[in-house]
Structure 1
Amino acid sequence: DRLADSCTTSDISIFQGQSAPLPNGIPTFTVQIINLCLHDCSMSAVHVSCGWFASTKLVNPKIFRRLKYDDCLVNDGKAIKGGDSVNFQYANSFEYPMKVSSAKSCQ
């Protein structure tokens, strides 16, 4: 039975879209990180390549934080159940490219 091996980082999708700007005109972006795994499998220790991610609007560090260059931690490392998502907004003059770099399956 390979069920535990059935979920991978490719089952985690990141969607970004531009939101209404802050009152001072700085663009705002909404991010949704979703565990799309169809098996009853949570993904934990989700890390995202995120460059020098920074935001002029506070992002709850338990939701998303940069640990070092190109390494951001999602959900404080805690599990994201299949079908669940983590959402946040950030504000910066440009959209940061984000891609899942690692995660632990079925934790």
Structure 2
Amino acid sequence: MYRYIWKIKLKGGVTEQDLVDHWRESSTVLQEYPGALGTHLHRTRGEENSYFAVAEWESQAARDAMAEDVNAGVSDRSKRWLKFAKNDDFGLVDPRFAGEEIGVVLPKNQK
């Protein structure tokens, strides 16, 4: 699994609900791409108006293929996504991590 994690610090006048609505709607389009495994939005503990977004992909190649398609702006899917405001329209965006999972330990009752 490949994860891409970034932090968003909201700028003045932007509400949490603005961000949540944007994230949900724009992420729905990205989840149509092959290899998309979901996305999560987290409120940062102890830091007002800050959030972490986590996108999960089957592989870096799957995420790179999505990014290439979106940047080309030719497919119907990319055109739908490009109509959305960008994350940095909501505040400061700081990519924090991108990498492949190399191991996992789960509770015994989870597979």
Of Structure 1 and Structure 2, the greater helix share is in 2
TM over 0.5: no
| Bigger CA radius of gyration | 2
State the TM bucket, normalised to the shorter chain: 0.3 to 0.5
> When the two structures are superposed, what TM-score results if normalisation uses the length of structure 2?
0.32
